[in-house]
Amino acid sequence: MGLVVPAILPTSHDDLREKLALFARLPSVDRVQIDVVDGRFASPASWPYTAAAEFRKMVERGEMLPETQHLEYEMDLMCFDAEEVAGDWLALGASHLILHAESVTDPARLLASLRKRYGGGADIELPALVSLGLALNIASDIALIEPCLGAVDYVQFMGIADIGKQGQPFDRRALEKVRVFRSRHPEVVVQVDGGISLETAKEFLTLGVSSLVVGSAILHAPDPAAALAAFEALQSPFGV
């Protein structure tokens, strides 16, 4: 996997297709994160919560996400109904699901339910192509996710306080949170999402972060390909 995971916060299906076409042309991109925001757990709502009927028709038709021959899809489920929509995204071609620990009262139960539902049984792991991640917000205690670490493939720390929006200022509390977590759990793969710049990226890489989720710093750059290349040049020795 590449160091950088480009993030898309789609305003519409057309907007998603347009941005995916951009990333599919860049050889270093093999995974894209799609932010899925329900407007309740985080706001404002993004597509497909703004076009529920359109999305339901996609699922019913068995329509796959575009560019699946070039890209793996990571769905960042910033929503209260993650358990209900997870199957739809897997059917559409997603291979990574990120659940937010704060979106449910019992994250461990949710993870166990997903593994049972989509893995074929309580003691059967999900297929190798499907990975589960667990995200933690800035204000949340690490203790919230520690009981779940054996059930996930990686942890995603949020680098911004107001999730569900791109272009938000970086919150430096994320650095200390990652430092503490890595000291306690050096074997767990860590990803960071939100507020990533070249400078903050360097700081996170020194802490052993494996992947950086980058949205506006690439998409809003005059030359997205050059912006992505600058991040990739940081050459993390770690990988998800």
**pLDDT of 130 higher than 80:** no
List pLDDT tens digits, range 108-122: 999 988 888 776 444
Quote the DSSP letter at residue 1: -
Quote the DSSP letter at residue 45: -
Q: Is the sign of the CA dihedral 18, 70, 165, 58 positive or negative?
A: positive
**pLDDT of 239 higher than 80:** no
Tell me phi and psi for residue 73, to 5 degrees.
-110, 130
What is residue 121's predicted lDDT score, i.e. its pLDDT? 43
List pLDDT tens digits, range 163-201: 999 899 999 999 999 999 999 999 999 999 999 999 999
**pLDDT of 1 higher than 60:** no
The answer to whether 46 and 40 have CB atoms below 8 angstroms apart is: no
Gap between the Cα atoms of 156 and 107, Å rounded: 14
Is CATH 2.40.10.10 the right assignment for the domain spanning 4-232? no
Tell me phi and psi for residue 201, to 5 degrees.
-60, -45
What is residue 238's predicted lDDT score, i.e. its pLDDT? 46
Kind plus residue range of the DSSP H or E element containing 52: helix 52-61
Beta strands in 178-239 (DSSP E): 190-193, 211-214
Gap between the Cα atoms of 44 and 42, Å rounded: 7
Gap between the Cα atoms of 85 and 196, Å rounded: 28
Summary count for the chain: helices (H), strands (E) = 8, 8
The answer to whether 236 and 196 have CB atoms below 8 angstroms apart is: no
Q: Which residue in this structure is represented by tokens 């575009």?
A: 66
pLDDT band at 25; cut points 50, 70, 90: very high
Domain ranges of the chain: 4-232
